[in-house]
Amino acid sequence: MKFALLSVALFTFGSLYSQTRQDSIQFDPQKQMNAAQRILSGNYGKAVTVGAYGEITYNQPEADNGELDVQRLVLLFGYKFNEKTQFVTEIEVEHVEEIFVEQAFVNYAIGDNTSLRGGLMLVPMGIINEYHEPTTFNGTERPAVDNVIVPTTWREIGVGVTGRFPDASMSYQAYVFNGFSSTQADGEGGVSGLLKGSNGLRSGRQKAIKSTVDSPTLSTKVEYYGIPGLRLGLAGYFGSTQAEDDVEEFDGANIGISMVGLDARYAFRKFAARGQFIYASLSDTEEYNMLTDRDLGSALMGYYGEVSYNLLPISAKQKLFAFARYENYDTHASTAGSLVRNDAYNRTDITTGLTYHIAPGVVVKGDYQFRDNNVENGDVDNRLNFGIGVWF
């Protein structure tokens, strides 16, 4: 309750003095910015910058009760100390009851096109992990590839550099982070595993909650934007998982991770398309599974392709996108040792629906998902989804 009152007070106080400019949400990938980028570039001479984004969703599985949820509400705060130094943070409330710090970093500009960063930051992998505000993507829910394989929202504590080479139409990011957590003591002298076959690395995100680190990881991404309307990205993440001192000595407590990602976004007049491919190779999973009695695969793979078309005139202030997305993701793309590949983890989703931008920063969504796995007569319910999203 105290946190809620403090957040409201800070939000109100900041709104009295400054606020991010209410510009239109950009659909051109070369001009799109995420929440942190808008704060860093949107102070307009003011010290304090305030914003927010959030979404309310309704999910109706084919053979089950529907669920209504205030999925997330994120308060954005920025402070500009001087022309070179800024601070950005995101405070997220999930499902009305869980509170997380999603980002909290200092950005120091050492030149016109280069900045140093340190703190809690998003790992640059794929599209959605950095651009996950509800007005920036089609579909009520984020793509499953970005939920299971990447896994969004993936953030850790680290330091690094970001910038661009204007003459080459390229931007870059390079960070050293703490890594995923893989194991923990079970309280009985043994070890329990955090990673598993059904959702890969997702349960190992430390989220800056008293994170442990014994071997830093490297995260990089370069993007090319030299062709009008097109943005291409290539990302890499390399290192190993982290374990507490009392379990690190066990054989199999840590695994190695090498992840690469390719992504593309394109927009021309009323047409837009995007796609991505993510592949992660995991080493020492046989020893890890023997130690923890888990079923973690030795490779994760996912990809999707999406097309959309604005049904309203280009001159209209509102936009109504009809879209379709095909995605496949497999957390048992490969297995090691005696672990048998589970075809239930090889999943396919086809999502089609409408995204209605009724005002800059306000979107109403509706879609239907045809969901399946590679098991014969696999029991995966199709799902109807609706949502309302805001970002300012």
- Identify the pLDDT of residue 246: 85
Label residue 25 by pLDDT band (50, 70, 90): low
Q: How far is the CA of 157 from the CAs of 181, 194, 200, 313, 362, in angstroms? A: 13, 19, 21, 44, 31
- Identify the pLDDT of residue 382: 96
Can you name the residues that pair with 55 across neighbouring β-strands? Answer: 72, 389
- Identify the pLDDT of residue 12: 38
Does the structure show a pLDDT above 60 at 6?
no
Assigned token pair, 368: 């239907």
Label residue 178 by pLDDT band (50, 70, 90): very high
Rg of the chain on CA atoms, in Å = 21
Does the structure show a pLDDT above 80 at 193?
yes
Does the structure show a pLDDT above 50 at 101?
yes
Q: How far, in Å, CA of 19 to CA of 289, rounded? A: 50
Q: Could you tell me if 201 and 329 are in contact, meaning their C-beta atoms sit under 8 angstroms apart?
A: no
Least confident residue range of 329-333, 365-369, 375-379:
375-379
Q: Could you tell me if 328 and 314 are in contact, meaning their C-beta atoms sit under 8 angstroms apart?
A: no
Does the structure show a pLDDT above 50 at 3?
no
- Helical ranges in the chain per DSSP H: 2-17, 35-41, 144-148, 245-248, 285-292
Give the closest residue to 241 by CA, choosing from 262, 227, 261, 256: 256
Q: Could you tell me if 124 and 235 are in contact, meaning their C-beta atoms sit under 8 angstroms apart?
A: yes
| Ramachandran angles phi, psi of 166, nearest 5° | -55, -40
Residue-wise pLDDT for 201-230, tens only, equals 999 999 999 999 988 999 999 999 999 999
Supply the CATH number for residue 270's domain. Answer: 2.40.160.10
Q: Could you tell me if 71 and 365 are in contact, meaning their C-beta atoms sit under 8 angstroms apart?
A: no
Label residue 187 by pLDDT band (50, 70, 90): confident
Q: How far is the CA of 2 from the CAs of 172, 188, 332, in angstroms? A: 40, 37, 44
- Identify the pLDDT of residue 379: 76
Can you name the residues that pair with 251 across neighbouring β-strands? Answer: none
Rounded to 10 degrees, the C-alpha dihedral 116/118/124/130 comes to -100
Q: Could you tell me if 360 and 20 are in contact, meaning their C-beta atoms sit under 8 angstroms apart?
A: no
Contacts of 253 (CB under 8 A, 6+ apart): 182, 183, 191, 243, 247, 288, 291
What is the dihedral sign for C-alpha 155, 328, 304, 53?
negative
pLDDT, average across residues 130-147? 97
Q: How far, in Å, CA of 315 to CA of 165, rounded? A: 34
- Identify the pLDDT of residue 189: 76
Number of domains in the chain: 1
pLDDT, average across residues 41-66? 88
Q: How far, in Å, CA of 345 to CA of 372, rounded? A: 10
Least confident residue range of 13-22, 230-239, 297-306:
13-22
pLDDT, average across residues 343-367? 97
Assigned token pair, 119: 């703190």
Q: How far, in Å, CA of 159 to CA of 99, rounded? A: 24
Q: Can you give the residue range of the structural domain that contains 215?
A: 2-391
Q: State what percent of residues in the chain have pLDDT above 90.
A: 83
Does the structure show a pLDDT above 90 at 22?
no
Does the structure show a pLDDT above 50 at 21?
no
Q: How far, in Å, CA of 21 to CA of 5, rounded? A: 25
Residue type, 288: Y
Does the structure show a pLDDT above 60 at 23?
no
Least confident residue range of 60-64, 135-139, 140-144, 204-208:
60-64
Question: How, if at all, do strands 299-310 and 155-165 pair?
Answer: unpaired
Q: How far, in Å, CA of 261 to CA of 146, rounded? A: 11
Name the residue with tokens 């599985």: 61
| Ramachandran angles phi, psi of 34, nearest 5° | -90, -175
Assigned token pair, 159: 């330091």
pLDDT, average across residues 307-328? 97
Does the structure show a pLDDT above 50 at 242?
yes
Give the closest residue to 16 by CA, choosing from 48, 52, 53, 54: 48
- Identify the pLDDT of residue 45: 62
- Identify the pLDDT of residue 323: 98
Give the closest residue to 231 by CA, choosing from 274, 278, 172: 274
